[in-house]
Amino acid sequence: MNKVVLLILSFFITIVSFSQKKTAVKGIILDQENFLISYASVGIMNKNIGTTSTDEGSFYLMVTDKEMNDTLQISSIGYDTYKVRIKDFISQKSHKVILKEKTIELSEISIVSTEYYVKKALKNLKNNTVRKKHELKILYRRWSVEDDICRFYIEHFMNVIDRGPSSYISKYSIQESRKSSEYRFIKNSQNRHAIEYMEINNPLRDGMFLNDYEWKKIENSSYDGEDVLVAEGSNNGINTIKLYIGYDSYKIYRLEIIRSPPKVGKYLNAIYLYKKNNEGKLYLSYHNREWGGSAKTPKSVKRHHALKNKSIKEFTPVAYRHEVFVLEIEEDEKKFETYKTIEKMDMTLYEIPYNENFWNSISLPPETSFYKKNIRELESLFNVPIATQFKYSNR
């Protein structure tokens, strides 16, 4: 009898969970001068639900009926935080969010050296980030570039076990995968999944040494009600690193890396954005980077160029362009997915069956200009839309 009751109860709970209606919350974020605001943190207060606005200011996330009376919070460097009840935001005629620029009035006398704040930020990295084991739902995108044009694209939806930027990713599993048509003629490959290179390229994970850089203050800003110092560090003209550090909390909200010149230096051109969980601890929210190099031109390509009277190059420029969205964070270990040990190899070598229903149902983030540029290059090769490439290249 007890088993029957439990079965009926389980069936009822399943029906209720599937009956939860999902609603899209989408909009565009601008300042008072009507300029788009990139990479703003968009989330539901006190819940680990959120996203990041694109470089064109747009955002998109799905909520259920349970979140309708919750508060949507939008924060960006240099602006006052915007808050509104989700139900009220959805009912508005316009879904433009206007953020007010925050005026910073800090006495230069009361501010100690820039090196002091960088040192405190690095020292407090463990305290300011989600250090306990947590699971990130990640959308990882990689474009393969040859001769300065994108010729291949692959996308993974992944579960990743992390301990924050002061540590390393311990496990990851690839849940879903899809790819474009194959237009490469060199087919350069990596010896591990690209997400591991994402870690290696991050100075916070790599153990950045304060004294390796000459630090200076670029400007004052703000984030989510806290005044922020923008510190720039130069490493003998090889790498420039910008850290956006909270004056009171010493939290690093944003990290930018600039290579100068472009193909020299330990780190790649990159952006790492961090957002708060419901306890105010930071975790990765968005990332993009680009690697550039060269590979020996295949003989077949040389012959083709000779027939077409094109110039023949011994080496061809190659590159990888990466974009990463963290779609969700799970901090309850009981709810983590089951992980298997997977071999370290290039993204293209993982044999993941194509699940078209998954890609049609997932709430994908809005397309960034970075994404649009790469896809536009890929489609221009033979005028084949990316949707068509997905349909026929993933069978």
**Structure tokens given for 125:** 């990295």
Question: What token pair was written down for 88?
Answer: 């009220």
Q: Is residue 61 part of a domain?
A: yes
| pLDDT (average), residues 322-349 | 89
Q: Which domain-ending residue is among 99, 118, 146? A: 99
Between vectors from CA 301 to CA 297 and to CA 306, what angle results, nearest 5°?
115
Task: Judge if 36 and 124 occupy the same domain.
Answer: no
- Stronger pLDDT, 194 or 166, i.e. the higher one: 194
- Contact assessment for residue 304 and residue 316, using Cβ atoms and an 8 Å cutoff: no
Instruction: Answer yes or no: is pLDDT of 202 > 50.
Output: yes
Q: Are 207 and 307 part of one and the same domain?
A: yes
List, for residues 359-372, the tens digit of each pLDDT value.
999 888 999 999 99
Does residue 85 share a domain with residue 136? no
109 dihedral zone (left: phi>0; alpha: psi -120 to 50; beta): alpha
Strand arrangement, sheet containing 71-75 = 50-52, 41-44, 71-75, 82-85
193, two tokens: 């999944």
Confidence of residue 17 (pLDDT cuts 50, 70, 90): very low
In a domain, 27, yes or no: yes
The tens digit of pLDDT for each residue in 297-308 reads 888 777 766 666
- Clarify whether residues 246 and 389 are in a common domain: yes
Q: Does 104 reside within a domain? A: no
pLDDT at 308: 66
Domain tally for the chain?
Answer: 2
Q: b/e string for 343-365 if b means 16 or more Cβ within 10 A?
A: eeebbbeeeeeebeeebeeeeeb
Phi then psi for residue 157, to 5 deg, are: -100, 120
Residue 9 has pLDDT above 70, yes or no: no
Single out the residue in 99, 119, 142 at which a domain terminates.
Answer: 99
- Residue 269: CB atoms within 10 A of its CB come to 18
Q: In what order do the strands lie in the sheet with 22-31?
A: 58-64, 22-31, 96-99
Residue 188 and residue 69 share a domain: no
Using the 3D structure, point to which of 72, 99, 126 is the last residue of a domain. 99
pTM of the model: 0.85
Indicate if 20 and 124 belong to the same structural domain. Answer: no
Q: What is the pLDDT of residues 66-104, one digit of tens each?
A: 889 999 999 998 899 999 999 999 999 899 999 998 766
- Within 8 A by CB and 6+ apart from 1, the residues are none
Quote the tokens at residue 19: 């009956």
Amino acid, res. 196? E
Identify the domain containing residue 28 by its residue range: 16-99
3-state secondary structure (DSSP) of residue 69: coil
Average pLDDT across the chain, whole number: 87
- Classify residue 5: in a domain, yes or no: no
The residue type of 64 is T
